[in-house]
Chain A
Amino acid sequence: MRLTCTVNGTEQQVDDVWEGESLLYVLRERMGLPGSKNACEQGECGSCTVYLDGLPVCACLVAAGQAEGREVGTVEGLTDGDTGELHPVQQAFLDAGAVQCGFCTPGLLVATDDLVGRSLAEGRKPADAEIREALAGNLCRCTGYEKILDAVRLAADRMSEAGR
């Protein structure tokens, strides 16, 4: 079947999609966007987290056809398309040392962007317990999560500062 959707602000159209394919497969194998990772394909690890109509979801659990006409946002869309400048969440992960093998990183960046964005929109920074609950669906096997928490706090501080 043919699939048309908007990915990172650009309309994408692909043909010959098998109906059993996931949005993750289509992004990675048909649209040339392998940033979202395929670690478990059962919604347990969060490595494939993308925005679907503004909500973070596991792309592995979205049937390709369910994305027809929808807005998809991936890790590739976090970087400023014009300047190439890193998003503050991306920079914070680097500065905090939250990236080791990096396989969980794209999903964590999208989940963190969502969390920090929502919190700041409510005029506050996320508390530690809230960060933990929000990121509980993003498994990381390398870092023990400590530096990921550091990165989220750092991103929230910087974005809150910049928003003032």
Chain B
Amino acid sequence: MSAPTRTPSGAPAHLTGVGGGRVGDDAQRPDGVLKVRGEFAYGSDLWIGDMLWGVTLRSPHPYARIRSVDLGPALAVPGVHAVLTSDDVPGEKVYGLELADQPVLAVDVVRYQGEPVALVAADHPETARLAASRIQVDYEVWEPVTDARVALGHPTWNQVHDAPAEVTELSRESAHLHPQGNLVRHLKVRKGDPEPTADVVVVGEYEVGMQDQAFLGPESGLAVPTEDGGVELYVATQWLHVDQRQICSALGLPPERVRLTLAGVGGAFGGREDLSMHVHACLLALHTGKPVKMSYNREESFFGHVHRHPATMRYEHGATRDGDLVYVRAAVYFDGGAYASSTPAVVGNGGTMGVGPYVVPNVHVDCYGAYTNNPPCGAMRGFGSVQTAFAYESQMDALAAELGMDPVELRCRNAMEEGSPTPTGQVIDSPAPVAELLRRLQAMPLPPEAATGDDVDLRDMPGGVSNTTHGEGVRRGVGYAVAYKNVAFSEGYDDHSTARVRLEVVGGEAVATVHTAAAEVGQGLVTVEQQIARTELGVERVTVHPKDTTVGSAGSTSASRQTYVTGGAVKAACEAVRARVLERARSVVGRPVADLRLDGGKVVSDAEGIAVPLADVLGDEAVEETLEWRHRPTEAVDPETGQGFAHVQYAFSAHRAVVDVDTELGLVKVVEMACTQDVGKAINPQAVIGQIQGGTAQGLGLAVMEEILIRDGRVQNPSFTDYLIPTVLDMPPMRIEVLECADPHAPYGLRGVGEAPNISSGPAVLAAIRAATGLPLRRVPVRPEHITVEGPLAPHPSHARGGPLQGA
């Protein structure tokens, strides 16, 4: 391996941090001081003397054939160093996480608005933008396919059960986006009686809009050409090794010549699992022989990463008069957009967990992922489950209303517990305290009633300081929801992580170094790595090596898996190091000692009163172990029945939402969110709470405001002016109770934490709004017009009708 030619300012260094903290403590982040000083370098902060700026020319059309591209006018702009198209991609011209179907740069056809077509490198970003605008692309514009069911030739629903189904024929040749057709995956889950009947049946159709990860740090990175003809890429990402595999394939270079280092990541939430500027910056760097920085602005970021799949869902629940679930039939359609990305896994989650954390004897679920000319959709926190939870939890409320039962009571009656069978034939083999989570929520005190009259503080009212109500029209509602999510990779994937741990004595002090490629995206994995090493090796000082590809893959920072899988790898590597050190210690002591352990930088035996400093055991030598660690294997599910040991672990959480709705204006103020979650073991309780609070906010956002609006395949709101995420005035105070019911199969008994609270919070908010308004709201995000003039089932106006912006 060749070293990079030069190191940019902002290249990550070893993190040591301050303070201590073992497993179970509120340890402080080792990158915290850098972050509050403004010295932590994110991808967009990287800088090197003579670097160029790369920009991307993107397709303005959702679907078109490229007749010709003229680069001449762009090349003529002074200061331009390179202008590239797909012809300049030396290796494979397509890439993808699960299926390689997405062009590095468009080849003949563009399949979504914003698809990269050409690249420019120049000495100033303004020069690069100007040159890109001068590239002449001649498009033959095609009619886009913009509905998942239309793409598959399936009947569309009209949001009304008894309306006649419509099938839109796709007769034209271009209606198949990809050679294999428009179906990415169809998962069938079949359990029990195929034709069950029940005393009480409720049917509902539901829709979830397209959510954006809206991480604050836009896509960015710096590619530096190396002397061996390769490239060193510093990039904000979630999975260095899968990036490396795809970059190598596109560049036609071996892994030894494509080295990746994780730059500072400004949030991810799934949106950095696919490539964005990675290959582009490397291509420009290799062509120009100069370092190239690419950093998207907010608008480009909306086009530069995959989003959460929008979903349309039809559910039918049957139950006995006593409230026992008899069956669930469901059809779930995920719109995957133009390229596959994580769609197969999203379909897997939506199908296998699509009835929620309940015991259902008869299940018939069809879950589809389709190609359309909408923006590509892929990973976002809680994927597959976030969407279906809105449907199955709404159904549970509808069923409770039909039965005249308390909705929490109905849920508890049907709740999964340890030993319960899942719809896919698994038996839950660790604690599943679904009912307890709900009962604990119900026992929490409710917030005080809304103030009225002179006591009103506008900031507590729906609408806030915009002064729309002083209490008029305001109704309170309370809603509950519970959800579950698989942790780590499922369906037979060889899910593993690699950890390298070294123990040595430096300047008289025992120091452990942990090296993994696991992406720290803000969640605090670097803290957890330190805590585990301190716990296992009995040292205070633990250094975290920069995350890079000089160590084996850690898998993705996704699926709530890193504390489990990379945590497990670090623990195992520490144990291997410890075993060697203790072995050495025994030879230093000169006899076998039963209870030797590491603590306080010493080898200790309480029984024999031994306390040998590590320096005496190790001398100048370091003990280092690198190992790959795997959780229990899962298996692929049967394609016809969905049966199989699909998931290694489940995470459970429940929410209670309290909302005030101005029922006349349709404005919502969430008053309080309460959450209970089982985390198995809180490795870092403060970070666990942070995950629950942050996940809750994202679920709330999807329930009441967040949606990428698409019309005819075009994004209508690619900005933080019109894609709204919750502010501090939208997110209410929270009550949180964390349960620690150990999973005997997992390191320390822990359960993945990050996703579950993102799943149950939105459905609870939706339920609370329904309770406040009495309306059968079935679409999220709920908009003011749904509560008022347009009716609860109306799609967003941008889907139906056109028109320019009324405002700025």
Residues of chain A touching chain B, judged by Cβ–Cβ distance below 8 Å, are 18, 20, 28-29, 32-42, 44-45, 47, 74-76, 78-79, 86, 90-91, 93-95, 97, 99-106, 109, 129, 131-133, 135-149
Q: Is the CB of A40 within 8 A of B697?
A: no
Instruction: Say if the beta carbon of B693 comes within 8 Å of chain A.
Output: yes
- On chain A, the residues within 8 Å of B32 by CB distance are 94, 99, 102
Interface pair A103/B33, CB less than 8 Å apart: no
A35 touches B38 (CB 8 A): yes
Contacts of A20 in B (CB 8 A): 126
* Across-interface contacts of B693 in A (CB, < 8 A): 143-147
Interface on chain A toward B: helix, strand, loop, or mixed SS?
loop
The residue among B32, B44, B47 with the most chain A CB atoms within 10 A of its own CB is B32
Q: Interface on B for A, CB 8 Å cutoff?
A: 9-10, 26, 28-29, 31-33, 35-42, 44-45, 47, 124, 126, 213-218, 264-269, 295, 297-298, 457, 459-460, 465, 521-524, 686-687, 689-690, 693-698, 719-721, 725-729, 731, 733-734
In the complex, what residues of B have CB within 8 A of residue A94's CB?
28-29, 32-33, 36
* CB within 8 Å for A18 and B126 given contacts A101-B266, A101-B521: yes
Given A34-B41, A37-B266, A101-B217, A42 contacting B689 (CB threshold 8 A): no
Chain B residue at minimum C-beta to C-beta distance from A75: B38
Q: A44–B696 contact, CB under 8 A?
A: no
The docked-state distance in angstroms from the alpha carbon of A78 to that of B524 is: 24
List residues of chain B with CB within 8 A of the CB of A132: 459, 728-729
Tell me the bound Cα distance from A80 to B52 in angstroms. Answer: 34
Minimum CB–CB distance from B139 to chain A (whole Å) comes to 28
Q: How far is the CA of A148 from the CA of B267 in the complex (A)?
A: 16
* 12 other A-B residue contacts (CB within 8 Å) besides A100-B522, A142-B267, A142-B690: A36-B38, A39-B266, A47-B216, A76-B39, A99-B29, A100-B690, A139-B720, A140-B728, A141-B215, A141-B697, A145-B693, A145-B726
A129-B37 contact, Cβ under 8 Å, with A101-B266, A141-B215: no
Is B216 within 8 A of A93, CB to CB?
no
Given A20-B126, A133-B465, A147-B693; A90-B217 close (CB under 8 Å): no
**In the complex, which residues of chain B have a beta carbon less than 8 angstroms from the beta carbon of A104?**
216
Residue of B nearest to A20 (CB): B126
A132 to B731, CA, bound (A): 10
Q: Is the CB of A149 within 8 A of B218?
A: no
Choice from B31, B41, B729 contacting A133 with Cβ under 8 Å = B729
- Distance of B737 from chain A, by nearest CB (Å): 15
User: For residue A105, which residues in chain B have a CB less than 8 angstroms away from its CB?
Assistant: 35-36
Assess A45 versus B720: contact at CB under 8 Å? Given A37-B216, A100-B522: yes
Indicate if the CB atoms of B215 and A101 lie closer than 8 Å: yes
Q: Which residues of A contact B690 (CB under 8 A)?
A: 97, 100, 142-144, 147
- Nearest-Cβ distance from residue B110 to partner chain A, whole angstroms: 26
What's the minimum C-beta distance from B300 to chain A, rounded to whole angstroms?
11
- Most chain A CB within 10 A, of B295, B298, B725, B727, is at B727
Are A129's CB and B216's CB within 8 A? Answer: no
Cα distance A75–B35 in the bound complex, in angstroms: 10
Indicate the member of A37, A44, A97 with the most B CB atoms within 10 Å: A97
Report yes or no: B45 in contact with A28, Cβ–Cβ below 8 A: yes
CB-contact partner of A44 in B10, B41, B719, B734, under 8 A: B719
Q: Would B216 and A101 count as touching, CB distance under 8 A?
A: yes
B42 touches A103 (CB 8 A): yes
Q: Which residue, of B36, B214, B689, has the highest number of chain A Cβ atoms within 10 A?
A: B36
The answer to whether B39 touches A136, judged by C-beta atoms less than 8 angstroms apart, is: no
Instruction: Write the chain B residue with the least CB distance to A151.
Output: B36
Q: How far is the CA of A131 from the CA of B32 in the complex (A)?
A: 23
State in angstroms the CA–CA spacing of A41 and B298 once bound together. 7
Quick check: B721 and A18 within 8 Å, CB to CB? no
Contacts of B457 in A (CB 8 A): 129
Chain B residues near A136: list those with CB within 8 A: 727-729
Q: How far is the CA of A123 from the CA of B161 in the complex (A)?
A: 63
Whole-angstrom CA separation of A90 from B38 in the bound complex: 10
Say yes or no: B731 contacts A103, CB within 8 Å: no
CA distance A39 to B695 in the complex (A): 20
A90 touches B37 (CB 8 A): yes
> How distant is the Cα of A13 from the Cα of B799 in the complex, in angstroms?
51
Q: Knowing A94-B32, A144-B697 touch, does A45 contact B216 (C-beta < 8 A)?
A: yes
How far, in whole Å, are A4 and B123 apart by their CA atoms in the complex?
A: 23
B667 to A: closest C-beta gap in Å = 16
